[in-house]
Amino acid sequence: MPANPDTLGSDRDLPAMAIAALARFGDRLDGDQREVLIKTAIQLGQAAEDLRAWELSNGDEPDTNFSALTGQDS
């Protein structure tokens, strides 16, 4: 039976990814695995925030679009 998200207590401050994984797999994880899961989810969340902070310009977009159907650049 998966862990109940309502019984995770202070885990409410965790990224949604960690809460969902703990709710689904928490009863199968030992303490070390749980710690790694939480650390990884936090690191991925921070990396995503860092990427969102970068401002993109038109120069960051490709000049051509590749068509998978024809295999040609347009």
| 10-62 pLDDT per residue, tens | 566 889 999 999 999 989 999 999 999 999 999 999 999 998 888 777 666 66
In contact, 13 and 45? CB cutoff 8 Å: no
Using a cut of 0.75, tell me whether the model's pTM lies above it. no
pLDDT of residue 74 exceeding 50? yes
Of the listed ranges 1-5, 6-10, 42-46, 68-72, the least confidently predicted one is 1-5
Give kind and range of the element (H or E) at residue 42.
Answer: helix 31-53
The pair phi, psi for residue 73, each rounded to 5°, is: -80, 145
**Dist CA 27 CA 39 (whole Å):** 18
In contact, 15 and 44? CB cutoff 8 Å: yes
**Structure token digits, residue 13:** 């401050």
DSSP state of 68: T
Mean pLDDT in residue range 4-10: 47
